[in-house]
Chain A
Amino acid sequence: MKSLKDLEAIREKAKQMTGIREGKAQTKIIVGMGTCGIAAGARDTMKVILDELGKRNLTDVTVTQTGCLGLCEQEPIVEVEIPDQPRIIYGKVSAERARQIIANHIVNGNMIGEWVIGRK
């Protein structure tokens, strides 16, 4: 390291790794992880979401889980929460759907209407 610029570069990269502890992330993805969700494949959905976020370097998105929402036949259920927008709940989020939700909704801001099962 020979300059402040070099330090800045390391800092930017390292910050992506520790950002989760700052609580500053704006966008949230919540995956239903009740027994029903897990049975319907929510674990795979989760893995795909993390994989997709990692590939796209989307480090300012928090991913958390929640319990059963009482809509077991719609599992795996994924909620997307973007500040100043209604919370969108997607149903039957397979691995493939999860990838598309990240690409369309999280990255481009276009909700995928046909999979939406609720808003809050």
Chain B
Amino acid sequence: MPIYRSHVLVCGGTPCVLKGAKTLKDLLNKELNRYNLADEIRVVETGCLGPCDEGPVIVVYPEGTMYSRLQPSDIPRIVQSHLLKGRILQELVYQAPWSPPSAQEVPLEQEKYLGLQKRVVLRNCGRIDPDSIDEYIANDGYQALGKAVTTLRPDEVIEMVKEAKLLGRGGAGFPTGLKWSFTAKIDADQKYIICNADEGEPGTFKDRLIMEGDPHGIIEGMAIAGYAVGANQGIIYIRGEYALSIERMKRAIEQATAYGLLGERIFGSDFNFTIQVRSGAGAYVCGEETALIESLEGNRGEPRVKPPYPGVAGLWGKPTVVNNVETLANVPPIILNGPEWFRRIGTEKCPGTKVFTMLGDINNQGLIEVPMGITLREIVYGVGGGIPGGKGFKMAQTGGTSGGCLPAEFLDLPMDYDTLAKAGSALGSGAMLIIDDSHCVVDLLKSFMKFFVHESCGRCTPCREGTMRLYEIIQALAEGTATMADFRLLKELSATMQLTALCGLGQSAPNSLLTCMEYFADEFQAHLNGRCPTGTCKNITVKSDAV
């Protein structure tokens, strides 16, 4: 076996690829050839390493040095200095926002670089070549599936997931073990496992990076789910724009099939399981599980009336488990390490970790994975490195555009499904939009509401009409023409939508609005009086009767 003295991992996540990671990789190979180093140093394309706005990033092992913000001209220098002569190029080394500026190397356990982070779902992301099933297996891959099908009964698998208290990571936080148990109970000639990788929530790209960085983790999770509920067919529904995710998932499925880890009589048992990839056409509502199923059946992507829930009658009327990418990626480590291990991470009610994509006015944008229950303050000022330009924290919108907005008094709120729901927001899919104090609440809401007008599928009246009216009133507020009656109407409409809209889209569309109306009441009042405190709403007209 050839021995390489060094591995260079080039981030192949979409954010880094967009910043030219592929060019860097080609250049790296060229330079290595030039110095006759190609047989000593292995170049590996890997999944997202996390600090996306610092991209493109590479990590050099065995030292574990992470270089960031690389330009093509940096590559020859890294080859000549680090790879040829063993001298780390300090000026290019990534500075994690939470470690002292003298830090020069990523310690191998990556602990220092990760800071408050804890990697369960992203355990392989940025550490292995996602196109190599062998590298996944080297890191204990497919052990959990093997253990499940050869030593555990399906009901024991479900019991473990229940005991782990794994909550669905796709938005609603429904207990996964419970969901599986409904489908497992039903006697049917055909059942399905669907992995929901539609990820339409603006600002969310965690599922994409999980698929790109560790596709086999999802395959393994789906197969375990299939074994647990008695399904032998799996479908991954991936957003059409995610070309790289689709490519990597397809390749991973081929490799797993070639190894007999998918297909018939897996690990010599009676369990058969296959997976196909299907792609969506980019409608936000198609992430809703019943609309997704409609779309898979070739119909217009509109939600169904529930019940019956998909677990009972889903795809082609058959019992169907729909789980999010991140939920499924949590399953193999739970089966392998046991529910007690999982429950030691995170909070009592909400164990494990959560993967967030952090965006907006924050120094360290990108992908993070932290234990559940970490506070907003730790995320913003610890992992996120604070707010740029010396500005103040105004609010964080958690859970994507469907989530609520939390002002500074919630900075010490623990981030988990329960607590956030009580605060009127949601943990949701894990998008975290940080907004500094130079932004106007009304202006922000205008763009949020516009999104819902555009994405409402139009099937039910409260949402089809409601989203449009909310948008119109917010626009009137921005122009200073809204009245007190309009303001009251906002509340009434929101309440109606929450109660009567058919699916989660219409029900959650008013979340951001309602939280902002409660926590930023002064700013609304100012707009009613024809004044925008931040000066953002330029067209606002001062009313003659206002002071």
Contact = CB atoms under 8 A, between A and B. Distances in A.
Nearest to B41: A50
A80 interface: no
B86 A64 contact: yes
B7 interface: yes
Interface string A74-91: 000000000000000000
B109 A20 contact: no
A10 B134 contact: yes
Interface in B181-213: none
A104 B100 CA distance: 43
Nearest to A54: B3
A33 B85 contact: yes
Given A2-B267, A33-B86, A58 B3 contact: yes
B392 interface: no
Interface string B49-79: 0000000000001111000000000000000
B338 to A, nearest CB: 17
A49 to B, nearest CB: 8
Interface residues of B, number: 42
Contacts of B139: 18
Given A34-B85, A65-B85, A67-B85, A3 B267 contact: yes
Interface in B1-53: 1-7, 9, 36, 39-40
Given A10-B134, A50-B40, A21 B3 contact: no
A107 to B, nearest CB: 14
A46 B86 CA distance: 12
A4 B141 CA distance: 11
Given A2-B260, A7-B146, A17-B135, A23 B62 contact: yes
Contact of A14 (B134, B265, B267): B134
Contacts of A15: 138
A119 interface: no
Contacts of A34: 85
A1 B261 contact: yes
A31 B137 CA distance: 32
Contacts of B1: 13, 16-17, 54, 57, 59
B73 to A, nearest CB: 22
Nearest to A29: B5
Given A7-B143, A33-B85, A43-B36, A25 B2 contact: no
Interface string A17-40: 110111101000010011000100
B122 interface: no
Most central of A25, A38, A47, A50 by chain B CB within 10 Å = A50
Interface residues of A, number: 38
A53 interface: yes
B23 to A, nearest CB: 24
B61 A64 contact: no
B447 interface: no
B40 A18 contact: no
Contact of A50 (B5, B135, B147): B5
B521 interface: no
Interface string B140-152: 1111001100100
Contacts of A51: 3
Contacts of B147: 4
Given A1-B267, A23-B109, A34-B85, A64 B5 contact: yes
Contacts of A7: 137, 142-143, 146, 267
B470 interface: no
Contacts of B268: 2-3
Contacts of A64: 5-6, 62-63, 86
B140 A11 contact: yes
Nearest to A53: B3
Interface in A38-73: 38, 43, 46-47, 50-51, 53-54, 57-59, 62-67
B125 to A, nearest CB: 13
Interface of B: 1-7, 9, 36, 39-40, 61-64, 84-87, 107-109, 127-128, 134-135, 137-143, 146-147, 150, 259-261, 265, 267-268
Top-3 shortest CB links A-B: A23-B108, A65-B86, A14-B138
Interface of A: 1-4, 7, 10-11, 13-18, 20-23, 25, 30, 33-34, 38, 43, 46-47, 50-51, 53-54, 57-59, 62-67
